[in-house]
Structures are given as structure tokens and as C-alpha cells.
Amino acid sequence: SVFADISLLADEEQTPEPLLSSLDIFLFSLIAGLLIYWFFFRKKTEPVPEIKPFTPVTPQIRETSFIEKMKKTNRNIVVFYGSQTGTAEEFANRLAKDAQRYGMKGVAADPEEYDLSELSRLKEIPNSMAVFCMATYGEGDPTDNAQEFYDWMQGTDDDLEGVNFAVFGLGNKTYEHFNATGKYTDKRLAELGGKRVFDLGLGDDDINLEEDFISWKEQFWPAVCELFGVEATGEDSSIRQFELVVHNDINMNQVYTGEMGRLKSFQTQKPPFDSKNPFLATVTGNRKLNKGGNRHLMHIELDITDSKIRYDSGDHVAVYPTNDAAVVNGIGERLGVDLDTVISLKNLDEESNKKHPFPCPTTYRTALTHYLDINNMPRTNVLYELAQYASDPQEQENMRKMASASPEGKALYQSWVLDSERNILAILEDLPSLNPPIDHLCELLPRLQARYYSIASSSKVYPTSIHICAVVIEYTTKTERVFKGVATNWLKNKEVTDNGHKLTVPMYVRRSQFRLPFKPSNPIIMIGPGTGIAPFMGFIRERAWQKEQGKEAGETILYFGCRHKNEDFLYQQELEEFERAGVLTQLNVAFSRDQEHKIYVQHLLKKNKEQLWKLIHSNNAHIYVCGDARNMARDVHTAFYEIAEEVGGLTHTQAVDYFKKLMTKGRYSQDVWS
């Protein structure tokens, strides 16, 4: 480069010379000329980067201002959603759509895409309000897409006087921080001066989230009508959001085949990999873990070489499954359509950020296989919208009744859909007069979501491999149909063969707070029955690695539970070897069905109460619980409260506070599901 040449020449000049030669003068002149030229050349280019930041300002304001967008598109209701699995987003869309029935115009919005500090400006729009459908995730946390909004609420002192709002929370009572995000949003917006139009709704996914939402919605709209002095238009017919475009002559290279984001992303993989751009990991291991019984527990290994994906023990791996081809074909046959027709569903609202309900153009087959949830029981809004296509008046009436808030309607939906576990194909089979157009069905079905599994490996030992431990879900329902879990059956069939054909799984890693202590010398107490052992296999392997590195590893204690020792003692050989090697200080296993009375992990905890209390209270031990939230996690909580009362001499209230403090300090961590 010019600079390298200059510095070399300057070095030459430092050699002692008796007199300046003509060569020296020539070189100095050259250097001076180059410096002057470079100086002026640089000056000319300087204004370019200065101008750049100013050019995108106008479009940026237009993009992030939901107020300007509402004014421009004549909306007066905005429904924000904090959604991790898509349910809150679905509810927000339903509310935005409902607004039309009351002569208002609504829009559903992702808080991540807009500047929520503009909320105080909402009063500039007459008869306006903001509704928040907020799911709680993890240990009382906001969802990923609502984190910035949550942080803003915590830090702002904006005056929201004159801003109308309502909140519906989505949570699960089996978790300790039930609906924490919804409760905080409702409380905080009121503290900032906002006007609560209707009471906070608390949806409980442990019982019936759909029913909770409908009951809340049925009372919410009359409150809105009263506030704005409007009435229902009586317009109760179905309102389509998307129009069908059939592509008869299209280059198949432009058609989506299952990709989540970028077209052809499965053919040309480019990091970084995330939910919109999953990595296709090759399945390098797939073995059955249990030795007997009627269940199938499996250990899957995914190769992440060359993906640049990093993970820590305790993180989650998200996999995108595909639906059972038999169910997909069944829908096509029942509705008499060619599933390989190439289509797009195009949003009728041109201002909407959501141009399509799933990647388009694609085929009906791809949509039903990769993008739509066809296995779960449809929500009531799907039944309501499809009812118009039932030619039998009784079938149509029953479908509408199930979507209503009436007690008999709720009971019918509970028994006929939920308790009987009818998916959309079962509903089509059991209602012979129901013949919806397949494009309307595709518009209404929710998106097929990624499934999350606790990683069962340590990146210190397996930097290019991620292990999954899961139980295959398969049983017979009340209607004598076989219900198969989408992801677990799909993973089970990913057999490793030596015929050169490699089977792949679209995946990415989601970070978790479920972490080994920073100091390897801290004792750890791990409690994980069944497949809840998954993250602890990673923890134990990491502790073995730490010992190999010459680090002082603290006591490593595992409480594992299974049904029968000779059937489903998962990873038995490895665990017993770790115990022999001194990596596992203690291996406590509860075999619940090997004797007359049931023995669970919480019973073993109580047996070792003195030792456990000493480890927790005096030795700074970290507690980890993984598995079922509904029963096990609660019973383990209770066992620890009793230990604190019996050995530590605390009252029940003190014991509850004691363990709450441990959670706050990150010394009592849970990775649970219901």
C-alpha cells in the first residue's frame, strides 16, 4: 500500500548520510507529493459517510411508528402480542378481526417491530385503544418479542393519561409465576395513567386457555362498545383475511418447499442459524434407551459440524418437525383436492406486515406438511369460521354452538373436541356435510411450531454434536383413533443407515438460564425423573471433563426417577460408570412401580434431608429440577419446604421465602414443562 511504501522509505532515510543527495531530494518530494495528494483525496470522500445516516430517517420513522400507520390506514384499535409459541399472536389476530363486527378497524402488531414509546400518542386517534395479549414464558419472563417493550415499561415515566388499554394474559397455573407478564403489563400501564377499559384476563393453559379467552372476549367487547358508544353491526359472517392465488405457470425454483425464511435456505445453508434460518443437522445416532415396557424412549444425536452453532449444557435445541404424510393425504382425499397445486395466500390488507400466513408461493402439500398445525385440536374460531361450509343444519348449529361462550357450547367443545382429541382430519371425517375450501382451512389453521428439547450433551465433550432424550408419544383416543406426537414420531423414524442417504433435522439452539455454577467447586443437586434427566447428562459429562482438566469439582448428586429398574432406567450404564469414577458423588434412583407403594424422587429427598439441608444452607449448593411441572416440580418444592422446616427449624412461610431467595440468586433453577 501507499502507507507501507512510505514507512519503508522513511526507514531508509534514517541511515546516516554525509550530505543530501539528489536521490534524497527526489524521494522527499515524492513523499510530500503523495501526502498532499492523499490529504486532498481523503477530504473529498469525507462528506459521503456524513450524508449516509440522514438518508434512511424518513422511511425508518414510517416503519416503526404504529401511530402513523394507524392514522394512514384508518385503524383505531391496535392489538400487540407477546408470543413464544404463536397462541398470543393468534388471539391478537382474532381480536383485530373482531373489531370489524363493531364498526371499528383493528390491527395486530408485533411489539418488536414498533416503537412502543409512542404509546402516549395513541390519544391523537379518536375512539382508540391498545390491547395486549401477553404470554408469560420461562420463570415469569416476557416472551422474546416482548422483551424490549417490557424493558421500556420498567424504565419509562411517560404519561399515558387518555390512553385506553386492556390486557389478556396467557399463562399456566402449574408454573410458580403464573401470568407474571400479563399482570405486570396491566399494573404498569395503569400506574402510568392509562385507562383500563376492561379487567385483566388470566388465561390458564393448564385447564382450558381457549375457554378463558372466549369468556374474557365475550365481556370485553360490550365494555368497548359502552366506552365508545357503538353497537355490534350484526355482521357475523366470516371475514377472510387472505385471498387465494393459484400459480398455473411458475418456475418451481421460486416455490417454497419447507424453508422457514429465505427461499432455498435448505439448499444453501448460511450462518447464523436461528428460528427463521434453521440449520439442517445430520442425524448420526438414534437408539432406544429403555429395555422394556410399552413406551419408546430414545437418544438422538445431531451433527452440527461447520454450523458455527455454539451451545452450553442446559440450553435447548429447537427442532422443526414435519406432519405425518398419512394425515396430510387424508385431508387432501377428504376435500378432493390436488395437494400439489402451487398457491399463494395473499393478505387482503395491503398495509399489513404479514403478507402471507406462511411462506408463499408453495403447494397445499408443503403447507400441510411443514407450515400448519394439523395434529392438534382446532380452536373454536376455526370451527366457527368453517361452520358456514356444513350443508347439514344440525352440524352447522353444533359447530357454531361450540364456538360460543354459552355453558352448553363450552361443554360440547370440551367433550367433542378436547376430551375426544379430534384433530382437523377427525372433525372432517365425523362431520360428513362439512366441505370447506382447502385455502380457507389453510388460512385458519395455526402455524406448526418448533419443539424444544433440553440438550443432553456437554459442548466441552461434544462440541460438534447435540444430543436429545425424548419419549415417543403414541396412544389411542376416545374415538379409537391413534394419536401420534408430531415431533417424537418424526424423530423416531430418523433411522441412521449406511446406504449413504443422510437424514436431517432443521434445528437451532435457544439459550437458557439453566446453567452449571460458575465455580466448579460448588455442589450441585439435580432432580430429573424420566426424560427430565436430559440436561443432567450434559451437566455430569461436563463435571467429568472439569475433573480431567484438574479442576476441583464439588459434590455432584443426582435424583432420578423411572417406573421399573429393568425397563426404563435411562442411561443406566453411563450413570453407574460415572458413580464408580467418582464424578457422580451420589446416584439416587426412585423406581416408582417396582414395589406395592409408589416411590418418587421427592420421597428420596426426604430420606436424605440432613445431608441436603447442610449442602444447601452451609455449602452453597445449587439445586436443579427438570421434568413435569404439574406434579413432580410442585412435589419437589414441597419436599424442600418440609426439609427446611424439619431440619432448618423454619416456619412454613420462612421456608417458602428461603427457596424464593435461592431462585432469585440463581441457586434454584427449573427447566419444566406441563
Cβ atoms of 96 and 106 closer than 8 Å:
yes
Residue 490 a catalytic site member: no
Query: Is 639 annotated in some ligand binding site?
Result: no
Query: Is 470 annotated in some ligand binding site?
Result: yes
Query: What 3-state class would DSSP assign to 339?
Result: coil
Query: Is 144 annotated in some ligand binding site?
Result: no
Nearest Cα to Cα of residue 110 among 83, 87, 150, 129: 83
Query: Is 120 annotated in some ligand binding site?
Result: no
Query: Is 480 annotated in some ligand binding site?
Result: no
Query: Is 175 annotated in some ligand binding site?
Result: yes
Query: Is 672 annotated in some ligand binding site?
Result: no
Residue 24 a catalytic site member: no
Query: What 3-state class would DSSP assign to 319?
Result: strand
Residue 545 a catalytic site member: no
Query: Is 454 annotated in some ligand binding site?
Result: yes
Query: What 3-state class would DSSP assign to 120?
Result: helix
Residue 442 a catalytic site member: no
The values of phi and psi at residue 344, to 5°, are -135, 145
Catalytic one among 110, 115, 349, 673?
Answer: 673
The values of phi and psi at residue 295, to 5°, are -105, 165
CA–CA dist 364, 346 (Å, integer): 14
Query: Is 88 annotated in some ligand binding site?
Result: yes
Query: Is 173 annotated in some ligand binding site?
Result: yes
Query: Is 226 annotated in some ligand binding site?
Result: no
Query: Is 319 annotated in some ligand binding site?
Result: no
Query: Is 225 annotated in some ligand binding site?
Result: no
End-to-end CA distance of the chain: 63
CA–CA dist 109, 554 (Å, integer): 48
Query: Is 136 annotated in some ligand binding site?
Result: yes
Query: Is 486 annotated in some ligand binding site?
Result: yes
28 CB contacts (<8 Å, ≥6 apart)?
none
Query: Is 604 annotated in some ligand binding site?
Result: no
Nearest Cα to Cα of residue 297 among 48, 472, 474, 459: 472
The values of phi and psi at residue 617, to 5°, are -80, -35
Catalytic one among 545, 626, 628, 669?
Answer: 626
Query: Is 607 annotated in some ligand binding site?
Result: no
SS3 content of the chain, % helix, strand, coil (to 5): 40, 20, 40
Query: Is 459 annotated in some ligand binding site?
Result: no
Cβ atoms of 505 and 491 closer than 8 Å:
yes
Query: Is 476 annotated in some ligand binding site?
Result: no
Query: Is 135 annotated in some ligand binding site?
Result: yes
Query: Is 488 annotated in some ligand binding site?
Result: yes
Query: Is 73 annotated in some ligand binding site?
Result: no
CA torsion 287-289-293-294 (nearest 10°) is -40
CA–CA dist 535, 517 (Å, integer): 14
Query: Is 471 annotated in some ligand binding site?
Result: yes
Pairing of strands 242-246, 342-347: antiparallel
Cell 443437522 sits at which residue? Answer: 281
Catalytic one among 454, 457, 458, 512?
Answer: 454
Distances (CA, A) of 415 to 64, 426, 479: 45, 14, 11
Query: What 3-state class would DSSP assign to 584?
Result: coil
Q: How far is CA 302 from the centre of its chain?
A: 20
Q: Which amino acid is at 592?
A: S
As a residue count, the chain comes to 674
CA–CA dist 51, 61 (Å, integer): 18
Pairing of strands 342-347, 482-484: unpaired
* Burial class of residue 667, CB neighbours in 10 A (0-12, 13-18, 19+): middle
Query: Is 177 annotated in some ligand binding site?
Result: yes
Query: Is 469 annotated in some ligand binding site?
Result: yes
**For the CA atoms of the chain, what is the radius of gyration?**
30
Cell 419408546 sits at which residue? Answer: 296
Catalytic one among 315, 439, 568, 671?
Answer: 671
Binding residues: 83-88, 135-138, 170-179, 205, 295, 451-454, 469-471, 475, 485-488, 531, 592-593, 598-602, 635, 673
Q: Which residue ranges are tagged as binding site for NADP(+)?
A: 295, 531, 592-593, 598-602, 635
Instruction: Give the annotated binding-site residues for FAD.
Output: 451-454, 469-471, 475, 485-488, 673
Known binding-site residues for FMN equal 83-88, 135-138, 170-179, 205
Task: Give catalytic residue positions.
Answer: 454, 626, 671, 673
